Amino acid sequence: MAIWNLGSVNADMVYAMPHLPTAGETLAARSLDRFLGGKGANMSVAATRAGSEVHHIGAVGPDGAWAIERLRGYGVGTDHIAQVEVPTGHAIIAVEPEGENQIILFPGANRALSQVQVEEALSLAKSADILVLQNETSMQAEAARLGRQKGMRVCYAAAPFDADAVQAVLPYLDFLILNEVEAQQLQEATGKEPGALGIKDVIITLGAKGARHIEGDTGTVSDVPALPVTPVDTTGAGDTFTGYVLSGLDLGLTVAESIEQASRAGALMVTRRGTADVIPSLQEVQAARF
Ligand code: RIB
């Protein structure tokens, strides 16, 4: 089986800051590092490092050949990443010493995907495959509808959160991953609790409290506690968690086993500075002691 990821590809500029800047403040960074990023690319790399075959569907600009090369180097399938005339997406990420961040996103080429491109890519997908989407590209609802038509398991990571974007894909979803604040926002927008939206599996990440799995069919709720770590950079940890969860499902683990493994991967990730380039391998995740 394989994972098809309609996802963003960004250049991440990560600035180590003494604190997160407030409105009107000019603040010098302590250092600058550049990484491959984008919620989509991070998830593709995470799922690949967890052992899955991943095909990334995305777009970069004339300045983005390096990103395709790097993804390919990490083992991600890049045949369906288009090169378009719009510049590659990028993110300006401020990280404070305790690991919390603030992100300015330039979507760029990520919003220039075409329907034809998505149709061509998904024509090669099989019904047993997984399709994952996040809210950093164009063509989300179109891809979700196609995935559902093909009988794929359609998953959505509702980040960056936008209630309209989630509602546009809701009818096609088998799996939804979002955080506590996003779950509350979605409930306000739909008038329903996330577990009552008709989605088979919902995972709500609870930060330092861990993660909650809600089975849509039965309403069964299971909590997985967080692992004790001291964060230095939380950027990309959620994407790592999602990539590992999906890879677990792809490789035949139960949802509970997938969440448990993904929690370990996410915990390890917050102890590292950076995004796609530093996502831990399965071997590192299994060997980590918390
Ligand atoms: O979730 C982290 C990601 O958000 C970064 O890699 C950045 O590119 C933004 O998409």
190-235 pLDDT, tens per residue? 999 999 999 999 999 998 899 999 999 999 999 999 999 999 999 9
Judge contact between 39 and 239, C-beta under 8 A.
yes
Closest ligand 1 atom to the C-alpha of 8? Answer: 10
Q: What separation in Å is there between the alpha carbon of 157 and the centre of ligand 1?
A: 13
Q: Any residues with CB less than 8 A from the CB of 191 and at least 6 apart, and which?
A: none
Is the CB of 38 within 6 Å of ligand 1?
yes
Question: Which residue puts its alpha carbon closest to atom 5 of ligand 1?
Answer: 38
Judge contact between 258 and 251, C-beta under 8 A.
no
Is the CB of 90 within 6 Å of ligand 1?
no
Total residue count of the chain as it appears in this document: 290
Judge contact between 126 and 101, C-beta under 8 A.
no
Q: In what order do the strands lie in the sheet with 211-215?
A: 77-83, 54-60, 3-6, 130-134, 153-157, 175-179, 201-205, 211-215, 221-224
Tell which phi-psi region holds residue 33, choosing left (phi > 0), alpha (psi between -120 and 50) or beta.
beta
Question: Which residue puts its alpha carbon closest to atom 10 of ligand 1?
Answer: 38
Question: Which residue puts its alpha carbon closest to atom 9 of ligand 1?
Answer: 38
Is the CB of 240 within 6 Å of ligand 1?
no
pLDDT computed for residue 207 by the predictor: 85
Q: What separation in Å is there between the alpha carbon of 92 and the centre of ligand 1?
A: 9
Q: Any residues with CB less than 8 A from the CB of 34 and at least 6 apart, and which?
A: 11, 12, 13, 14
Beta bridge partners of 203: 177, 213
Q: Where are the alpha helices (DSSP H) in 104-236?
A: 115-122, 140-149, 163-169, 180-190
In terms of CATH architecture, what is 3-281?
3-Layer(aba) Sandwich (3.40)
Is the CB of 89 within 6 Å of ligand 1?
no
How far is residue 205's CA from residue 179's CA, in Å, rounded to a whole number?
5
Predicted structure pTM score:
0.97
Read off the pLDDT band of 77 (50, 70, 90): very high
Is the CB of 239 within 6 Å of ligand 1?
yes
Q: What separation in Å is there between the alpha carbon of 135 and the centre of ligand 1?
A: 11
pLDDT computed for residue 140 by the predictor: 98
Mean pLDDT, all residues of the chain: 97
How far is residue 267's CA from residue 265's CA, in Å, rounded to a whole number?
5
